[in-house]
Structure 1
Amino acid sequence: MSPSYDQRWDRLVTWLEGKGMLVDEKHLKVQAALFTVPASAHINIITLESQYPGAELSAVQLISLHLFLHKPLGDTDSFDPLFGPYISVLPRDFDGHPLTWAIRRTLGRADAGTALLGFFPPHVNTLLAQLERRFWEDWKAVREYLKAHTHNGSSNTELDYLWAWLNVNTRDLYHDLGRRRDDNISLCPVFDYANHVWTGATMSPSRKDSGVWGNPGNASQASLVCSSLEKPLGKDEELLLTYGAHSNSILFVEYGFVNVVSEADIAAGLYIAEATVDEIVYDLILRCGGDALLLVVREALEQEGYWSDWTLHTAPPPAYPSYRLLSALRLLHVFVVDESPFGAVSTTDLALWRDTVAGLRDAVSESNERDVRRSLRSICDAVSVRAERSLDALMKAKADEIGGPSAWSKFAVGNVAVLWKEERAVARAVLDSIEAGVVF
């Protein structure tokens, strides 16, 4: 009979006690009291590098490699002599994570989950593609290491490595180990049970050296301490971390969840919401002058570093377009004035635009700003329409096409709906700013 989760937790606590952690009721209440997890209980580049001599791997690759080689089989425990009790309580699957669906699609193993990929906002698909590239690059590096060394478990599959990689990507904490910034991460027992909250976190991890704070020379002995924040906690209240000031699109792609925030809070600027409008702006440029206009606009924007990544924002209020987007629209309307056909542009007009980008002028001209605001209004309308249509399609899709009966399917569909509702709320908020005459 496989051990229960309570049994695995008890084994983890016993293991932590063996590492020198105080686990009595006074010190491991996981509430307002502080607790410290000893350095030897962290899985990081320092605690692992002696196990993999000569491995020229990043921290993510090395930690993922170790989890990969010691992945529990079925419902059994991990046999890892170093971190087995900890690995045994890690999530056993990530079936509800967007990267899992993307990897399965790439491997030709499409299922009900991969169908949901077709309902994502364009920017989310872009972020997911970037995450998938990171995964395959790390898998290539680890696979090359495995080919050069003999390790038990090296015959496991890409999906086994995906399990390991996602455990690292969704649970690691920044931990100053005196290494390169990207290598200053650790998996830390107990801390990784904390859920994310976008405001009002009740704790944060901090480093405690055996000697001097912040001295990289003590990095191998640097424990992580749970520091309670100013907000007082009541009995049985949950301890929460803030994973970072991330947009919902990043939270969804990286972690598989979103912050559920009311559209009223978004409109009021209480939540940092955004919408990326690259595809809509591309279409606008093409409608104004076809491929010829797209070519010259892109060339000029790339020279100044303003091509793509055009966004709308709600915070700080009032809602506004990004400066990148304003720069692109100002350039567009240097070429297309008052909806006239795309034609030749004088060097003087381009110089005025470049002065605006450089901050030497507030605007190209009054007429240019009028055209920009008109196009900005059409962009917001297009975002709203796209969101409405996408939400309608998402709600009408058959359940067995976008997740099926899986336990996570309803949750995942709800997350995607939140992403579209957020884009709609952002667009409406920027429209309100335009109608109110807000100067951007």
Structure 2
Amino acid sequence: MCCTLKSSTRKSRLGRTFRKRLNRQNRFDSGKNLPSVIKDIEWIIFRDWLKQTGFPKTKLTLAEFNERHKNTKSSVYPYIQMLPKNFDTVPICLDLELLEFLPNNLKEDVKSQKLKFEKDFRSVCRFLKKQLNSDINITYNEFLWSWLCVNTRCIYFEPFKSINCDVRENIAIAPMLDFLNHNFDAKTKGEFNRVTQCYEITTLTPWKKGQQVFINYGPHDNFKLLLDYGFTIPNNPFNYILLDDEFFKFNEEVENVISKKLNLLMKNGFYGDYALHASQISFRLLTALRLRFLRPINDISSQETQHLITKWQNTISGKYEIVSYENEIEVYEWIDSVCKELIKKCDLMLEKVNNTNSIPSGSLENLKLLWNESKNILTSVIILIQDSKKYVTL
């Protein structure tokens, strides 16, 4: 598959002398040099290989797994040389003891990802052995490297209408495209051009010569970026904290009452996914907590209980903002208390991370960023609650 990078900015119609003068001015603007473009030998070989092979005709398939062992004899050797040699910062590659330093939600996602990988590994081994009668023997680590090359660098490729296939299961690697890094504020448009048989990316952001061109992988928080790509971004605006564990552990009521309330949440579409953002508390969390603090609910069919449930449902429809001031105070007090407890946990984990010498430097920086930014979100929410007019009624 071929990748074509286009720019939406129009070329200047001013003269060559003006453009040369402008380039010199940009280069030394504010006393800062523009970053130099690295042209190492692997990149030059890869670029020449692209020209010689005449993309988009060359494609990578399952049969190319063994290409890595062919070295220079492989038809895709220049491309393989440009791929990462390892994926040390991707959590699935971390030692088991290091996984304990991850936040709980991310830890569970890593476990799920590992199960998927192991299932894929078994499937491929069975396929090669039974269907192809192949002598190719893929080791666990070799397949993990190949699997991560695809998982960290692929795009979703919409199949032709005649093919009955879930687009989420149809992925492809597009050489050149997979060398572009992610930035959350990069504005791009990407699509496969069936006429040119190329995947084309149009940048909607102007870039100067010498600047790195970014694309946008999507509105991903740092947990998602670390899980799937092995990196994190400081001040990522898409970061959030899930309070599902804390919410479902909250059991101050008798079991049958809790069960009734959870059933109501499920019936009304508010079961789970309770998030805190630095600038807001999710409506899902507020709605769920308003029901949890709705008292008393004993006989679900009683007139009093139905009246309380109607008041709660009116906050969902927007008819009323709150159930009652007393109810709202309890909601915000609970969030405030949970945030303070989680901040203590962040401090404890940061101390453990800083005092552990066995963590590789790349993973160390990612872990510190995750816990520090989680702490920042929690602190921001506490300030948000303190400044809230609802909270002032205390």
TM-score with structure 1 setting the length: 0.70
SS of the residue corresponding to residue 329 of structure 1 reads: helix
- CA distance 1:289–1:197, shift in 2 (3 Å): same
SS of the residue corresponding to residue 117 of structure 2 reads: helix
8 A contact 1:70–1:79 mirrored in 2: no
Q: Name the counterpart of 1:123.
A: 105
Whether 1:399 aligns to 2:357 is yes
Q: Name the counterpart of 1:207.
A: 192
- CA distance 1:362–1:426, shift in 2 (3 Å): same
Q: Distance in 1 between matches of 2:316 and 2:52?
A: 60
Whether 1:167 aligns to 2:152 is no
8 A contact 1:280–1:382 mirrored in 2: no
Whether 1:278 aligns to 2:263 is no
1:202-241 equivalences under 5 Å are 205-210=190-195, 222-234=197-209, 236-241=210-215
Cα root mean square deviation, aligned: 2.9
* 46, 70, 74: which one aligns with 2:66: 70
Q: Name the counterpart of 1:375.
A: 334
Report the Cα offset of residue 18 of structure 1. Answer: 2.7
SS of the residue corresponding to residue 100 of structure 2 reads: helix
8 A contact 1:274–1:422 mirrored in 2: no
1:78-93 equivalences under 5 Å are 80-81=74-75, 83-93=76-86
* 46, 49, 57: which one aligns with 1:40: 57
In structure 1, the gaps of 5 or more residues are: 21-37, 49-64, 102-112, 211-220, 337-341, 404-408
Task: Write out per-residue CA displacement over residues 84-129 of structure 1, whole angstroms, 9 at most, x where no aligned residue.
Answer: 432343222223321123xxxxxxxxxxx33220011111112222
8 A contact 1:78–1:88 mirrored in 2: no
Q: Name the counterpart of 2:51.
A: 17
Larger-gyration structure (1/2)? 2
8 A contact 1:277–1:383 mirrored in 2: no
Q: Which residue type is aligned with residue 357 of structure 2? A: A
Q: Distance in 2 between matches of 1:252 and 1:85?
A: 27
Whether 1:301 aligns to 2:249 is no
Q: Distance in 2 between matches of 1:154 and 1:359?
A: 62
Q: Which residue type is aligned with residue 253 of structure 1? A: L
SS of the residue corresponding to residue 374 of structure 2 reads: helix
Report the Cα offset of residue 78 of structure 1. Answer: 6.8
Q: Distance in 2 between matches of 1:71 and 1:359?
A: 60
Report the Cα offset of residue 305 of structure 1. Answer: 3.0
Report the Cα offset of residue 418 of structure 1. Answer: 0.9
Equivalent residue pairs, number: 345
Q: Distance in 2 between matches of 1:153 and 1:291?
A: 58
Whether 1:139 aligns to 2:117 is no
8 A contact 1:139–1:161 mirrored in 2: yes
Report the Cα offset of residue 149 of structure 1. Answer: 1.8
Report the Cα offset of residue 415 of structure 1. Answer: 0.5
Q: Name the counterpart of 2:315.
A: 356
Q: Distance in 2 between matches of 1:240 and 1:10?
A: 21
8 A contact 2:186–2:205 mirrored in 1: no
Report the Cα offset of residue 251 of structure 1. Answer: 0.5
Q: Which residue type is aligned with residue 306 of structure 2? A: T
SS of the residue corresponding to residue 412 of structure 1 reads: helix
Q: Distance in 2 between matches of 1:391 and 1:378?
A: 20
Q: Distance in 2 between matches of 1:78 and 1:124?
A: 39
* 273, 276, 297: which one aligns with 1:312: 276
Report the Cα offset of residue 171 of structure 1. Answer: 0.6
8 A contact 2:154–2:172 mirrored in 1: yes
Q: Name the counterpart of 2:224.
A: 250
Report the Cα offset of residue 361 of structure 1. Answer: 3.8
Q: Name the counterpart of 1:198.
A: 184
Report the Cα offset of residue 280 of structure 1. Answer: 2.1
Q: Name the counterpart of 2:369.
A: 418
In structure 2, the gaps of 5 or more residues are: 1-38
Report the Cα offset of residue 294 of structure 1. Answer: 4.5
Q: Distance in 1 between matches of 2:331 and 2:294?
A: 10
1:301-340 equivalences under 5 Å are 301-314=265-278, 319-335=279-295
Report the Cα offset of residue 249 of structure 1. Answer: 0.7
Q: Which residue type is aligned with residue 369 of structure 1? A: E
8 A contact 1:72–1:78 mirrored in 2: no
Report the Cα offset of residue 334 of structure 1. Answer: 0.9
- CA distance 1:359–1:239, shift in 2 (3 Å): same
Q: Distance in 1 between matches of 2:133 and 2:153?
A: 25
TM-score with structure 2 setting the length: 0.77
Q: Distance in 2 between matches of 1:276 and 1:78?
A: 48
Q: Which residue type is aligned with residue 19 of structure 1? A: T
Q: Which residue type is aligned with residue 238 of structure 1? A: Q
Q: Distance in 1 between matches of 2:350 and 2:42?
A: 42
Q: Name the counterpart of 1:218.
A: none
Report the Cα offset of residue 383 of structure 1. Answer: 2.4
1:145-184 equivalences under 5 Å are 145-150=127-132, 152=134, 154-178=136-160, 180-184=166-170
- CA distance 1:153–1:410, shift in 2 (3 Å): farther
Report the Cα offset of residue 321 of structure 1. Answer: 1.4
Identity fraction in percent: 23
Task: Write out per-residue CA displacement over residues 379-422 of structure 1, whole angstroms, 9 at most, x where no aligned residue.
Answer: 222222221221122112x313xx3xxxxx11201111111111
Task: Write out per-residue CA displacement over residues 214-270 of structure 1, whole angstroms, 9 at most, x where no aligned residue.
Answer: xxxxxxx52123434332313x22122222110011101111110022xxxx7xxxx
SS of the residue corresponding to residue 207 of structure 2 reads: coil
Q: Distance in 2 between matches of 1:154 and 1:301?
A: 52
